[in-house]
A and B are shown apart, each in its own frame.
Chain A
Amino acid sequence: MNDNAARFAVEMRGVRKAFNGVPVLAGVDFALRHGETHALVGENGAGKSTLMKILQGVYQLESGDIRIDGKTVRLRSTQDARAAGIGMVFQEFSLIPTLSVARNIFLNREPRDRFGLLRDRESVRRTRELFADMGVDLDPNAMLGSVGTAYWQLTEIAKALAQKARVLIMDEPTASLAKTEADALFALLERLKARGISVIYISHRMNEIYRIADRVTVLRDGRNVITATCGELTAAELVEHIVGRRLDGALVWRPRKIDHAAAPLLEVRNLTAGPRVRDVTFTLAPGEIVGLAGLMGSGRTELARCLFGIDRATKGDVFLRGQRVKLTSPRAAISAGLALIPEDRRAQGLVLEHSVRDNLLLPLLPRLNRGPLIDDRKGRKIAGDLIQDLQVRLNSSTSPVKLLSGGNQQKVVIAKWLATKPAVLIMDEPTAGVDIGTKTDIIAMIRQAADEGLGVIVISSELPELLAISDRVLILRDGTVERILLPREDISSEETLQAAVQGVDQP
């Protein structure tokens, strides 16, 4: 039996776990082969993180068992898991910014001499070896806080490898990486695989899963729905398993009626700000959704910042409903009728400790005045209506926002800004890191708002969704609009858009 079981690097059977009486995992089976990259997918709250935290020894399972290389193990702490060969590449990085790369890799396991003093030279030497092995060029003595986040992840991987990990758990590893960096990471994963290291890869991004995973396991509502090799499953089928219901075509492009003959809602002429926004010209019709596509550094975010008055334009004009507006500060932009939902929504978009209701009402406070006081009854009614539209599952509108999942928080941020009834809404990566179900809801929210006459500018690096939602797509390169494409007519597929974004000539 041992021979049979040892086919798997990790085998988890019948794993159950509940928090405060709420079952999160209801008997999950999961098996990882030696040297395979196994994608673990599911919506937010499906139980992926909990399952992985059990494997990392952070949580204890209530029933079920775990075998590593065929041997039953009990993982009572992260140390146990590490000793068993489980390496973790944390979503929130587990590194110390004030220590050097090498010191981070050998933290708490530093090589020491016979007097018990640390041998930092030895750590540096071994770090060089590890990096050479991984094909990474990074100075082991560099202070971690001074190197880019892409290197943090590589340092984490090196740290796990230094601890002789045979299994790596990676949670959304490409979330903060540019495309070239992600490519380098995938190349590294291939090298590790060749050395027999197994990888559990948690991701929402379908194209990545198909690119690097051998097999995929879908979790839904704390149960495993299916485990299959990637070749057996089309992306559409995979999404169906994840969501558990047919998608109502949110990720499919729909023709929308836009009156291009009417006076444009927003007109941008020769807008220039610094090196990243150069001579940008475009128009936005009432009710139109325009997508901004481009590589990292193409000026997408900078254009949004400039339109919202965070960065001052040095040249060019912006007209809103034919009136020239001066966007000298976010305040000026807001009062002109522009709204921006930034990428880092948790930090910039929400007061996490406050209730959903208070968050929704924050930008509306000026309208709730009753003398010097706030009209609470009116506030409750407005917030109640908004929450109903949101379809957020809430215990109570007074529970703090931080208790919501990331996807639901994003919905609250969007609802909050929609409630201010802006003329133009700019969204930077509105669906970054949210699961496919929430993504559908968010796209529906955007479409509905646009149908009511709102002009929307969407920045996204997820091309399928950009393709589905945009009435037009602006391709930015080096800070300027290179092309304007129409879905259907100019863009036949995601590949065409990808080629346009990358600047590759189409066949």
Chain B
Amino acid sequence: MTTTRGLPSDLAGETRSQPAYLRAWARVREDWHSYVIYVGFVVIFLLFAILLHGSGFLSSNNLLNIFRQTATISVMAVAMTFVIASAEIDLSVGSVAGLASVVAAMSVTHGGLFAGIAAGLGVGLLVGVINGGLVTLLNIPSFLVTLGMLGIAVGVAQWITSSAPQPILNDTFNTIFGSGDLGPIPGLLLWAVIAVVVGAVVMAKTRFGRQVLATGGNPVAARFSGVNTRRVKFTVMVLMSLVASVAGMLYAGRLQSGRFQWGTGDELSVIAAVILGGTSLFGGSGKIVGSLFGALLIGLINNALILAGLDTAQQQIIRGVIIIIAVALARRK
């Protein structure tokens, strides 16, 4: 027996006996797509700061506004990061938010604060169990299940309200969900920060987070390692809908009414935010902080386009172009 044999050096290449900082740099270099969002964010921020400095873009009021407007997207993007990391998708989040907003509003009016919150969360739980059950038990692709649910949820919301807005007169509800401030900090910002911190810890530091990544990275391998991939996917789908219902209540609290239109089209912003943040659409990776910056970038762009005085049609076109370019840069492979 000869002494220890390693592997041929040409294959070992970068991993072979290098100082730690060089190996860390090698990882950054190979994983640079994940960091594009931060560079992009800074570049676009500076660009707008220069181009729009006369329009009050940099005023603290405007910046807080951007946070406030993107808070619901950020909160949903955190949960969506888990969904996409497990190689699933949820297209129903926007309309679930809308449905939760009207159900919570109606329940607050008839049963008070706690009934309202419970009813709102109940919508998320119910939709999540249906989505997750269909995906994991009947093996229907989540794309199709949630595409169907998108229509169902918005339809139900419109039907039970006869398309009418449902005003919320309960101040406590409105204060908790988005209208209130904690000192100088807008409540909505707090919600977003809590969601991101909890999401980041769960993703990086808990076994559940690791199981989500494993399930999305290679479901067969995950199963062979003892991961119950069905339960992981089910849990992720339920959490997503629950979070979407919270987002719906944040809309309701901020705008002091429930409306079936709240959240319409949010699924696209949320998914774009997650992909911009460096999470792979093919599953197996999940960047929570990246998703936050993805959401902020989208908010930044929306805000700047309005300040620049573009009309809605032009805004949509430019937003679409920027998102395609950014996703093309952030994507892997």
* Chain A residues within CB distance 8 Å of chain B: 78-79, 82, 88, 90, 92-99, 103, 107-110, 112, 116-118, 135-139, 141-143, 146-148, 150-151, 154, 178, 180-181, 183-184, 187, 190
With both beta carbons as reference points, the residue of chain B lying nearest to A178 in the complex is identified as B8
Bound-state CA distance A138–B9 (Å) is 11
Asked whether A181 lies within 8 Å of B11 as measured between CB atoms, the reply is yes
Q: Does B317 contact A (CB under 8 A)?
A: no
Flag if B225 contacts A97 (CB, 8 Å). Answer: no
Quick one: which of B15, B207, B222 contacts A139, CB cutoff 8 A? B15
Q: What residues of B have a CB within 8 angstroms of the CB of A190 in the complex?
A: 1
CA distance A96 to B232 in the complex (A): 16
Whether B284 contacts A143 by the Cβ 8 Å rule is no
Contact for B2 among A103, A116, A180, A187, CB less than 8 A: A187
Q: How far is the CA of A27 from the CA of B217 in the complex (A)?
A: 39
Chain A residues in 8 Å Cβ range of B213: 96, 98-99
Show 8 A/B contacts (Cβ-Cβ < 8 Å), sorted by A: A97-B217, A99-B213, A103-B210, A137-B16, A143-B27, A151-B7, A181-B11, A187-B5
B17 touches which of A79, A118, A137 (Cβ 8 Å): A137
Which residue of A95, A108, A116, A135 is within 8 Å of B211 (Cβ)? A108
Distance of A304 from chain B, by nearest CB (Å): 22
A96, A147, A181, A184: the one contacting B284 at CB < 8 Å is A96
- Say whether A116 contacts B218, CB under 8 Å: no
Q: Are A112 and B207 in contact (CB under 8 A)?
A: yes
Query: Would you call B280 and A135 a contact (CB within 8 A)?
Result: no
Partner among A78, A107, A143 whose Cβ is within 8 Å of the Cβ of B30: A143
Residues of A within 8 A of B284 (CB): 96-99
| Contact partner, B210, options A94, A107, A142, Cβ 8 Å | A107
B contact residues vs A (CB 8 Å cutoff)? 1-2, 4-8, 11-12, 14-17, 23, 27, 30-31, 201, 204-207, 210-211, 213-214, 216-218, 220-222, 224-227, 280, 283-285
A224–chain B nearest beta-carbon distance, Å: 27
The residue in chain B whose Cβ has the minimal distance to the Cβ of A117 is B205
Which of A82, A97, A143, A180 interacts with B218 by CB under 8 Å? Answer: A97
Interface pair A180/B7, CB less than 8 Å apart: yes
Q: In this complex, which of B14, B15, B206, B280 has the most chain A Cβ atoms within 10 angstroms of its Cβ? A: B15
Enumerate chain A residues within 8 angstroms of B23, measured Cβ to Cβ.
Answer: 139, 141-142
- State whether A147 touches B214 (Cβ < 8 A): no
- Please judge, given known A-B contacts A96-B213, A135-B4, A135-B6, whether A78 and B206 are in contact too, CB under 8 Å: no
Cβ-defined contact, B11 with A116, below 8 A: no
Contact A96 B207 (CB under 8 A): no
Contact B217 A96, beta carbon cutoff 8 Å: yes
* A117→B15 contact, CB < 8 A: no
Min CB–CB distance B2 → chain A (angstroms): 7
Q: Are A107's CB and B11's CB within 8 A? A: no
Residues of B within 8 A of A143 (CB): 27, 30-31
Closest residue of chain B to A156, judged by CB? B221
Are A150 and B11 also in contact (CB < 8 A) when A108-B225, A135-B5, A143-B31 are? yes
Point out the residue from A95, A110, A117, A147 that lies within 8 Å of B201, measured CB to CB. A117
Q: Are A150 and B7 in contact (CB under 8 A)?
A: yes
Task: For the complex, give the distance between the alpha carbons of A97 and B206 in Å.
Answer: 19
> Across the interface, do B226 and A108 meet the contact criterion of CB distance under 8 Å?
yes
* A137 interface neighbour in B12, B30, B201, B227, Cβ under 8 Å: B12
Q: Which residues of A contact B211 (CB under 8 A)?
A: 108
Which residue in B1, B30, B285 is a CB contact (below 8 Å) of A98?
B285
CA distance A96 to B217 in the complex (A): 5
Which residues of the other chain, B, contact A110 by a CB distance below 8 angstroms?
Answer: 207, 210
How far does the alpha carbon of A180 sit from the alpha carbon of B6 in the complex, in Å?
10
Residues in B neighbouring A150, C-beta threshold 8 A: 7, 11
B91 to chain A minimum Cβ distance, whole angstroms, is 23
How far is B12's CA from A87's CA once the two chains are assembled, in angstroms?
25
Q: A98-B216, A107-B210 are in contact. List 14 more A-B contacts (CB 8 A).
A: A94-B225, A96-B222, A98-B213, A98-B285, A99-B217, A108-B211, A108-B226, A112-B207, A116-B206, A117-B201, A118-B210, A137-B15, A137-B17, A181-B11
Bound together, the chains give a CA A88 to CA B224 distance in angstroms of: 10
- The interface residues of chain B lying within 8 Å CB-to-CB of A99 are 210, 213-214, 217, 284
